[in-house]
Structure 1
Amino acid sequence: MKKLSCLLLLIITSLSVSSCFKDLDDEKIQASDLEIQDFIYKVMRKHYLYKAEKPVLADDRFSDNAERNAYLNTFMTPKDLFNGLLYSQDRFSFLVDNYRQLEQQFNGITKNNGMEFGLVQIQSSGEVFGYVRYILPNTSAEANMVERGMIFNRVDDQILTATNFKSLLSPDNYSIGLATFEDGTLTPLETSINLQKQQYTENPVFIANTLTVEQQKIGYLMYNGFRDNFDAELNNAFADFNADGIQDLVIDVRYNGGGSIETCNDLASMVTGQFNGELFSTQVFNENFSDEEVLFNNKISTGANINNLNLNKVYILTTGSSASASELLISTLTPYIDVVQVGTTTVGKFQGSRTFYDSNNFSRNGTNLNLGHTYAVQPLILKSVNANGFTDYVNGLTPNIEVSEDFSNLGELGNPDETLLKAALDDILGNGRPSRRNQSLNFKTLGESKMYNATYQRMYVGNE
């Protein structure tokens, strides 16, 4: 009888525990749209940089919660509300419905086939083609021998157009049909290459070499994303430059859409070093917050000492894909050293953002994190002003030496004869500056491979 009682107790206990686990894991209470929209509204009302431009975000806009809820209920979805709260000139704030994917992308983790490309439209004919910018190691593109400079005009046998390229290039698997582009003429080839995306972590320190040109040692860094989880790799590159005794430095951010403000500060401090403790930038927020000064520093995010070069001049290569923290690097160094910008005009993003979660203090680690949804808000919350008071470069930063990439002959990245690098080297060596060459007038830029990432052309501050 005693054994039977124990058995019954064990069964009842097991069912109870099983029921509890089911309640917690399998039957989470899904947050309502109103609940999510209330979170979005509160974030924007408190932190949005352009709060003053949106009367609906005024602190006294609603007399009570009922009136605010009535307003929120006029929007069908959280996305509709978010879009309705944006200032008309805001190109960069965004909302995500899965913050876990966003967090991965901030760390450089994406679904990627390894082919980083740009997309342009020929103005005279309206034809669209992609051109391969660079190939990531250990990817499908590398395995299938895709190379920088390849041209493609078809995806899964469909001709690329200005209206279908986003949908054709978004799947995990697709084939590209190669073409040639010579003397302004796009000619399809029979060759096609199959590519497959996989989860991939990209090291943004793509090339870090010391070039010896005419007996002069020149450092070349191709840096493709300001990501603090690779600060050590970036710092190691500068240790190598120091060891090699470089006399000049070329930083290539032509395809760099931005990232961490802290890492940008670190990179600027690596280039210099003699301005430690001086003003890097002033961060200007909305009326709810005071401005904050950010200073040049001498340690990276890991706590390691920065390997600095103490340079008084730096060359920075840019294109229309250089945005955010790439532009901040130019802006913040300009008051202190000679910055020679080579290439084409940048995007024009001087604002920073932060990720906000539905918790008591809007942080990931805050108490009462709402587990009923995975929405997060990434609004612009600040604008950066350099030590000379320069900001608001909405039309981008214009190069000192204007020269554009030649899609029909991109050249090898890091090779002294590659167009943009050669223009910088010629100026360093006193060989004269090239006559103005800008083929972008003949093309309309449509997009690039990183446009599918939520972090595309973003500059952000660290999250708590």
Structure 2
Amino acid sequence: MLFNPTTALKKSLKYSYLVLICALSACGGSEEDSSPGAILSSSAYKDMCASPRTGADPYNNNRAYPDRQGSLKDEKNWLRAWVDETYLWYREVPKNLNPDHYASATAYFAALKTPLITASGKEKDHYHFTENTAEYNKQSQSGLELGYGMAYTFIATDVPRRLVVAYVEPNSLAENAGISRGMEIESVDDYDLRTSNNTDALNSGLFPTIAYQRHQFVFKDLNGKKLNKSLTALEVQTTPVQNVKNFLSVKGKVGYLTFNSHNAISESQLINAVTQLKNDNVSDLILDLRYNGGGALYIADELSYMIAGPAQTLGKTFFKLKYNDKTPVDPNNTWPFYSTSGSSGALLPTLNLKQVTILAGSGTCSASEAIINGLRGADVKVNLIGGQTCGKPYGFIPQDNCGTTYFTVQFQGENHKGFGDYADGFSPTCKVDEDFKAALGDKNERLISAALSYNATGQCPANGQTLGQSRSESSAPLRPALREIMTLEKARR
């Protein structure tokens, strides 16, 4: 996976952790040159490639790739035109970028965004990225990811850093190797993760890009025992919906499920989970989105409907799309709460809840935040337990060109009440830090325990803080940009 202008570890750390941001000179660009002449419509350059793909696309009904022989200049011209036509903040893109000063199309794309900085000192647009199209299709449509089947979270981002395993995929290499939630990663290929600045070496091990590549890890378990593991990168089948169960409380049965990704295979898993909880007669729900960075918006829409049901959502808007002023009026820009499956057309099961408790944190982004905002717009009470969400009210319409899929911010969303300004994230009802001592789905796991306590008493537990109290440093997920998106794929019905 390529992340421009930085690699995955640099991307997660670029504001304060390693301070190793790729400078423009290192990325092959310059902002001091005059821009070229007028650019035609993006359609004039679409699929004109320096190295056209040949054969059939397995993710497009085995149709031939649309690529035609072109040049690197054609690819860059398409990018400049497409960004100018669709980018939400197209007026803020520098006009003096010379495409000839960028060694590749992806390097040029990295510069085609607003350079503005927010009041907090962050980039206004820190969402812009690219992905190999084949890899993107594998992950979004089939749930396949190259790696070991484990997700990472920082619990200390300053040196000495601390990176732990947030969860492992069922039946994955990581699980079969005895790796479990809460284990700390001390080194990768003999590089000390706590202190090393060799991000290329660390990324190579944490986020392998070649199948069957072997890497050496040193883990430390919860008892302080060090474990040496040799892991081989393979395509892992992810399971986005896990741990579907219910807990008994003083107010009745409380349903629970872990939901980690809004990809295509999650739809049927969510339908099965809600059907199970409905048959269990749950009267409340704990939806665990703490590690869900987003994905397809239609999945968020369907899940929100399954939680709230028809009575509370009838005639209400789940998500209203706001594009730039160049985009033609879209008759489908206002999404209702979908009551049927996008893949089968079958009626969705519902829990008909008037409130839901969501476990959240800095890893809760994009489409996951759309669930929070959409339900609140329909007057469903949403209690957030954990930490501040990441703040991504923006989304993409992913576009493939010549084997690379480009993600540039093209829309912002609002709920039924017209609210969509949550770039700083949603604040938790109860601030509770993770301790990684219990498995996800365990009633004694800190966030689940806090949620059950809050549901029973209406008060934040002793290990939590109510909204407005001081915040300590929370865990911060380390993952590819592709895991933090909101897209419109398969949205039309």
TM-score normalised to the size of structure 1? 0.80
Which residue type is aligned with residue 216 of structure 2? Answer: S
> 1:437 Cα shift?
4.0
Contact 1:128 1:162 in 2 (8 A): no
> 1:104 Cα shift?
1.1
Question: Residues 146 and 244 (structure 1 numbering): CA distance in 2 closer, same or farther, change over 3 Å?
Answer: same
Contact 2:434 2:447 in 1 (8 A): yes
Which residue type is aligned with residue 291 of structure 2? Answer: Y
The 5 Å alignment of 1:66-81 reads: 71-81=98-108
> 1:215 Cα shift?
7.1
Which residue type is aligned with residue 416 of structure 1? Answer: K
> 1:441 Cα shift?
6.5
Q: Distance in 2 between the 1:441 and 1:139 partners?
A: 35
Q: 1:272 aligns with which of 304, 308, 312?
A: 308
- Mark the runs of 5 or more structure 1 residues left unpaired by the alignment: 1-22, 58-69, 359-372
Q: 2:156 aligns with which of 121, 128, 134?
A: 121
Aligned pair count reads: 401
* Aligned residue in 1 for 2:139: 105
* Aligned residue in 2 for 1:248: 284
Contact 1:277 1:297 in 2 (8 A): no
Q: Distance in 1 between the 2:226 and 2:296 partners?
A: 42
* Aligned residue in 2 for 1:378: 407
The 5 Å alignment of 1:292-331 reads: 292-302=333-343, 303-331=345-373
Contact 1:115 1:132 in 2 (8 A): yes
Question: Residues 444 and 162 (structure 1 numbering): CA distance in 2 closer, same or farther, change over 3 Å?
Answer: farther
Contact 1:135 1:146 in 2 (8 A): yes
Deviates more, 1:249-258 or 1:272-281: 272-281
Question: Residues 131 and 71 (structure 1 numbering): CA distance in 2 closer, same or farther, change over 3 Å?
Answer: closer
Q: Distance in 2 between the 1:436 and 1:190 partners?
A: 29
Which residue type is aligned with residue 52 of structure 1? Answer: R
> 1:117 Cα shift?
2.0
* Aligned residue in 2 for 1:147: 180
Spell out, residue by residue over 1:144-198, the C-alpha distance to the aligned partner (whole angstroms, 9 max, x if none).
111212222112332113633434423342232123679xxxx6x4421222221
Q: Distance in 2 between the 1:24 and 1:427 partners?
A: 57
The answer to which structure, 1 or 2, has the higher relative contact order (CA under 8 A, 6+ apart) is: 1
> 1:333 Cα shift?
0.6
Question: Residues 412 and 431 (structure 1 numbering): CA distance in 2 closer, same or farther, change over 3 Å?
Answer: farther
Question: Residues 30 and 419 (structure 1 numbering): CA distance in 2 closer, same or farther, change over 3 Å?
Answer: same
Q: Distance in 2 between the 1:162 and 1:391 partners?
A: 40
* Aligned residue in 2 for 1:396: 425
Q: Distance in 2 between the 1:319 and 1:445 partners?
A: 8
Question: Residues 195 and 418 (structure 1 numbering): CA distance in 2 closer, same or farther, change over 3 Å?
Answer: same
Kindly report the root-mean-square deviation, in angstroms, between the aligned alpha carbons of the 2 structures: 2.7
> 1:299 Cα shift?
0.3
Which residue type is aligned with residue 434 of structure 2? Answer: E
SS at match of 2:342: coil
Q: Distance in 1 between the 2:277 and 2:54 partners?
A: 54
Q: Distance in 1 between the 2:475 and 2:69 partners?
A: 41
SS at match of 2:326: coil
Question: Residues 162 and 120 (structure 1 numbering): CA distance in 2 closer, same or farther, change over 3 Å?
Answer: farther
Q: Distance in 1 between the 2:271 and 2:234 partners?
A: 28
SS at match of 1:262: helix
> 1:55 Cα shift?
6.4
Which residue type is aligned with residue 208 of structure 1? Answer: V
Spell out, residue by residue over 1:211-253, the C-alpha distance to the aligned partner (whole angstroms, 9 max, x if none).
2234721100110011233311211111111111101001000
Q: Which has the higher helix share?
A: 1
> 1:29 Cα shift?
7.2
> 1:31 Cα shift?
3.6
Q: Distance in 2 between the 1:431 and 1:339 partners?
A: 13
Q: Distance in 2 between the 1:397 and 1:79 partners?
A: 32
* Aligned residue in 1 for 2:489: 462
Question: Is it true that 1:420 corresponds to 2:462 in the alignment?
Answer: no
SS at match of 1:238: helix
Deviates more, 1:104-113 or 1:248-257: 104-113
* Aligned residue in 2 for 1:284: 322
- Mark the runs of 5 or more structure 2 residues left unpaired by the alignment: 1-52, 56-66, 116-123
Which residue type is aligned with residue 425 of structure 2? Answer: G
> 1:375 Cα shift?
2.6
Spell out, residue by residue over 1:337-380, the C-alpha distance to the aligned partner (whole angstroms, 9 max, x if none).
1110110001110111011234xxxxxxxxxxxxxx31332211
Contact 1:260 1:461 in 2 (8 A): yes
Q: Distance in 2 between the 1:77 and 1:207 partners?
A: 44
Spell out, residue by residue over 1:229-287, the C-alpha distance to the aligned partner (whole angstroms, 9 max, x if none).
33112111111111111010010000001011101000000001121342112110000
The 5 Å alignment of 1:66-215 reads: 71-88=98-115, 89-96=124-131, 98-107=132-141, 108-121=143-156, 123=158, 126-160=159-193, 161=195, 163=197, 164=199, 165-171=202-208, 172-179=213-220, 189-214=225-250
SS at match of 2:166: strand
TM-score normalised to the size of structure 2? 0.75
Contact 2:261 2:483 in 1 (8 A): no
Q: 2:257 aligns with which of 221, 238, 251?
A: 221
> 1:431 Cα shift?
6.8
Runs of 4+ in 1 over 6 A off after TM superposition: 438-442
Question: Residues 427 and 380 (structure 1 numbering): CA distance in 2 closer, same or farther, change over 3 Å?
Answer: same
